[in-house]
Structure 1
């Protein structure tokens, strides 16, 4: 189980309390996972709630890595293995400190878990269904010095057949926590019509039965790891008045699904991957949703979901971890763009962000990096 000291947890929640007063609501997790030879980042705009992070000065205190204009970054060496303190201070234009939070960077060796065997089930929405980060995770785990891994799932992306080059998983575009608990549409016959975890009971009623799922897709064996990457669709359309009620609803279904996982896999280590911040530009939301949703409102929704997620699970004693993928993704440079002109009367060629919530391939790779780092840390732990 992840070791979170009482002092570190207190610092985390104290920072949340202080930041609620100054309205930045800094959200820095108690622990940040890193692996030797793999870049780890803390993107400043992703940890505070502001419409323009360039209005503030960021000051990192950390004995390793370097601070750039939009992030702190580090590529750990073998000599860096261990825990290093990390502190982020935010100052205003008068150089007055207005927010502070502390964390620790946990660096493990790239060959952690070498020679072991484990299985993993990856569950998620379209970000998983795209299959980019699951396939990149497999690639990272195929390097020398890694354990042997079995991926579990019913399809390999968009209902595609599983083969040697396509990782099985349970990604389904547009889905939510509710969907995996309740979706059972008999009028359609595609991979998104029914939850893979629902089966008909003796009365013909669909019920959650994770044991039966494992019988079908993993020879009846419990997975060693389950990751769940949901939340974007759940909170996308919320506003400030409705977000907390929606999160209450999300957590109700999360408890149901996690409890079902636990029945068949009591020792499984569960990782909850944080919902991602959106593309840095409103242009992406205009491209995808016209006037249907703003970047700023979704960013507020996503941030509130993460605040509540850490409040609920940060000190979980049920072998549940939070994987802070939100820290590690570059929302300015690793979301899609497309070319065009500045306006209908202009011949000047420009690029505009073109996808609000789905990153580019490089952004998906950063998600894989976050998941890889967490897995390596868990594999390095002594049972």
Structure 2
């Protein structure tokens, strides 16, 4: 393993510029690159030098809130020095400020992900931050923000999640030789959705549906045709396929402008160092498989790969996970995965593939929820620690949304970015 110190930055970074002509400044923008998030391994002993015409080096981050006009492109270089003035690493990225659109057609975005997307908090932030953004999908808790977010899911659930393998089913899995519009879904899964006593974490947010005449339904691994209220068996052992095209057809999505993917937290969460290479390779294979399925649907639909965020401090990991994982192990795996994502997808905007570096902008100190804990059972002193091992607080979700917002506005400014 290469043990060199690394600075992990994407080749390009898009930041929304502040609104022009405001009589009252209510829509101020800012962006941060937190040094602890991008340097692997990180040490407080490093001297981090930022070479940039704009923004401020605040010691723990590069911060900008006085943004140049939209369309401004400028280089940002980070150099890392030790106590003897020796340069240990350096990295450059190009930053572009992009305007927030004020009018025009609705911009339809499908967000796919794990519990961070399930919460819909970074999506809700963008729905108020950006004009005309419409989030689509099969799941919604408020009938306004829709998405494909599943708590606790990894890519494996999306590619192999059938009723035969568990209680929930992937929205992208279909029986082979059955079209998206002709497939209803799994009977047991839809019964659980309709059951008022269902597990709310797994089944809330989905509408109750009933099969129509002629539709194909499955019951675990068997396939039936529904006609006049009766089921006629067609196949005892369904052959499944992952299909983004069939998903779009089944959901009746039209004029889709972008699909965003936020995965990694569950794929790499409990991942020992000894398994890191293998697990990251599998994660990358799955990401490419998802990308290729989107490409089978459309060669021009913009795909945004969100670079996943780092976790909270070890105290939160211990409280939530016992001894099953550590902050440093998680950080090691996520940063290595982000490095691979940047290498593979970082210069492919000509293929309508974009990176959203959410991990840069999430405040490692104030972006996670906190609680007060007694130091031990004898002492009454209370110490405040972060209390959730991977999920940000509302402020952190807003910072994640800011990173994605810049990319979406960049895409919206391009022509011919509809996928069908």
Contact 1:223–1:265 (CA under 8 A) maintained in structure 2: no
Structure 1: how far apart are the matches of 2:390 and 2:269? 10
Residue among 384, 401, 414 paired with 1:351: 384
Contact 1:214–1:222 (CA under 8 A) maintained in structure 2: no
Cα displacement string for residues 149-201 of structure 1 (whole angstroms, at most 9, x for unaligned residues): 33211112xxx4x513xx11000011112211111125866xxx011111223
Match of 1:154?
A: 138
Pair 1:25 & 2:9 matched: no
Match of 1:213?
A: 247
Match of 1:135?
A: 124
RMSD: 2.0
Which of the two has higher C-alpha Rg?
2
Structure 1 residue 40: Cα displacement: 1.1
Q: Which moved more, 1:179-188 or 1:261-270?
A: 179-188
- Larger proportion of helix: 1
Q: Which runs of 5+ in 1 are unaligned?
A: 1-16
Residue pairs, 1:281-320, within 5 angstroms: 281-316=313-348, 317-320=350-353
SS of equivalent residue, structure 1 residue 260: helix
Contact 1:152–1:217 (CA under 8 A) maintained in structure 2: no
Match of 1:12?
A: none
Structure 1: how far apart are the matches of 2:343 and 2:44? 28
Residue pairs, 1:252-291, within 5 angstroms: 252-279=285-312, 281-291=313-323
Cα displacement string for residues 270-325 of structure 1 (whole angstroms, at most 9, x for unaligned residues): 0000111111x211111111111111111111111111111211123532111111
SS of equivalent residue, structure 1 residue 54: coil
Structure 1: how far apart are the matches of 2:278 and 2:351? 25
Match of 1:43?
A: 34
Residue pairs, 1:363-374, within 5 angstroms: 363-374=396-407
Cα displacement string for residues 310-367 of structure 1 (whole angstroms, at most 9, x for unaligned residues): 1211123532111111111101111111112222221112211111111111101111
SS of equivalent residue, structure 1 residue 184: coil
Task: Sort the Cα spacing of 1:169 and 1:199 in 2 relative to 1 into closer, same or farther, 3 A.
Answer: same
Match of 1:243?
A: 276
Residue among 105, 108, 112 paired with 1:116: 105
Residue among 156, 169, 176 paired with 2:147: 169
Contact 1:124–1:172 (CA under 8 A) maintained in structure 2: yes
Structure 2: how far apart are the matches of 1:98 and 1:366? 29
Structure 2: how far apart are the matches of 1:334 and 1:288? 17
Contact 1:78–1:109 (CA under 8 A) maintained in structure 2: no
Match of 1:4?
A: none
Match of 2:63?
A: 73
Match of 1:6?
A: none
SS of equivalent residue, structure 2 residue 95: strand
SS of equivalent residue, structure 2 residue 15: strand
Structure 2: how far apart are the matches of 1:27 and 1:349? 36
Match of 1:89?
A: 79
Contact 2:280–2:333 (CA under 8 A) maintained in structure 1: no
Aligned pairs, how many? 346
Task: Sort the Cα spacing of 1:223 and 1:76 in 2 relative to 1 into closer, same or farther, 3 A.
Answer: farther
Match of 2:115?
A: 126
Contact 1:152–1:218 (CA under 8 A) maintained in structure 2: no
Cα displacement string for residues 64-90 of structure 1 (whole angstroms, at most 9, x for unaligned residues): 111112111112445364101101111
Structure 1 residue 369: Cα displacement: 0.6
TM-score (norm 1): 0.85
Structure 2: how far apart are the matches of 1:109 and 1:259? 30
Pair 1:201 & 2:176 matched: yes
Match of 2:24?
A: none
Contact 2:263–2:308 (CA under 8 A) maintained in structure 1: yes
Task: Sort the Cα spacing of 1:138 and 1:365 in 2 relative to 1 into closer, same or farther, 3 A.
Answer: same
Contact 1:181–1:256 (CA under 8 A) maintained in structure 2: no
Pair 1:226 & 2:259 matched: yes
Structure 1: how far apart are the matches of 2:96 and 2:165? 49
Task: Sort the Cα spacing of 1:303 and 1:78 in 2 relative to 1 into closer, same or farther, 3 A.
Answer: closer
